[in-house]
Chains A and B, each alone.
Chain A
Amino acid sequence: MRVVISLLMLAILSSCITVPKPIYYWGAYEDLSYKAVKGNEEADFQKLMVSFTDIAKNTAKGSSGKIPPGICGDFGFFLMRQGKTQEGKQWLIKEKSLYPESTTFIDSILKMAEK
């Protein structure tokens, strides 16, 4: 009888334990950024760009509800490289507003873009 009760309690307890939600949602970022770094081909960068927007749309899947560090910055940087300067700048500014510690770096990039 004691064994049955112990097993039952163990089952109830283990059902209560949940794996904590990660701080951020990354989607397929790691694999796609590896392919972009390794291949250095436009098609891989396009897929990475799609993953940036996927991450930005699914922030609720992370416990912070925020876009992870660096995503807005790199997305803005790639947009500017494609000639979409204004849109790129908006994403860089978004990185600063989400993570104020990025201000020094982002401001220097924005300054370089002005030249």
Chain B
Amino acid sequence: MRMIKFLILFVICFGLSSCAKKAAAPLTKIQVYKDLYKEAPVSILVMLPINKTNNVEVKDFFYTTLTTSLSDMGYYVIPPFMGQEILRSESANDTERFVEAPLQKFGEVFGADAVLFTTVTKWKKNGVTDNVEIQIEYVLKSTKTNNVLFQRKGNLVYDTSIKPPSNSGLAGLVIAAVVSKINTAATSYVKVSRMCNDVTLSDLPTGKYHARHRLDSASFAGLKEFSTKIGGN
């Protein structure tokens, strides 16, 4: 009888262990973004964000903060005002037309190695709490090969009740530094947009002008789509 019980237990354990999925080993940045490391883009043309929300200002919130976010990641960004003027004059400021189009022309005219497309699909403000739910996707494409060099989608909640972490090491201090940019009295959506960029683009391998350029290839890459809360008072 004891032998039978032991056998049943063994079979159950074996069955359970074979069902358990092996946790996927985290991938490094060079594994996930191998085309980006191979092409090593230096200059980026930022296209006007595609706004699929009901808030007409969202496009401007993000356009005016993308230059600073990408520059701080070590990339050269085509001067945004001059760039837009030329795109307008060439009737090329309708971003959606170019998402799937060949991008070589942008390389020839602007000298850009890559083009950044940004699509905002959600910007929902809660009237009571002032919290904002944001869904945004960033796609960086090569002007030489048209390959996607970087793609990441963030589901973010700007939560006004979050306080900056005070005792969570260097990472906490960096987050606190970003969070502290938010004005406590009047929520500045320009700064919220900047936070969305910084959090989502934090996975982008650093560019030529960053001190960690080419030193981040062995770091673990984040998820292609993620959800997190941002904010702080």
Which residues of A are at the interface with B, using a C-beta cutoff of 8 A? 14, 17, 19-20, 22-24, 26, 29-31, 33-34, 36-38, 63-64, 68-71, 73-74, 77-78, 95, 99, 101-105, 108-109
Contact = CB atoms under 8 A, between A and B. Distances in A.
Nearest to B189: A34
Given A31-B188, A101-B43, A103-B111, A69 B77 contact: yes
Contacts of B42: 101
Bin chain B's interface residue count.
35 or more
Nearest to A78: B81
B210 A105 contact: no
Given A23-B71, A70-B71, A109 B82 contact: yes
21 contacts: A17-B169, A17-B170, A19-B177, A22-B72, A23-B74, A23-B209, A23-B211, A29-B68, A30-B190, A33-B64, A34-B65, A38-B57, A38-B60, A69-B71, A69-B77, A73-B79, A74-B81, A77-B82, A102-B76, A105-B78, A109-B86
Given A30-B191, A69-B67, A74 B76 contact: no
Interface of B: 42-43, 57, 60-61, 63-65, 67-68, 71-72, 74-83, 85-86, 108-113, 167, 169-170, 173-174, 176-177, 188, 190-191, 194, 209-211
A19 B76 contact: no
A73 B177 contact: no
Given A73-B82, A101-B111, 14 more contacts: A14-B167, A17-B169, A23-B71, A26-B68, A34-B64, A37-B64, A69-B209, A70-B78, A70-B80, A70-B82, A77-B82, A77-B85, A102-B76, A103-B111
Contacts of B113: 101
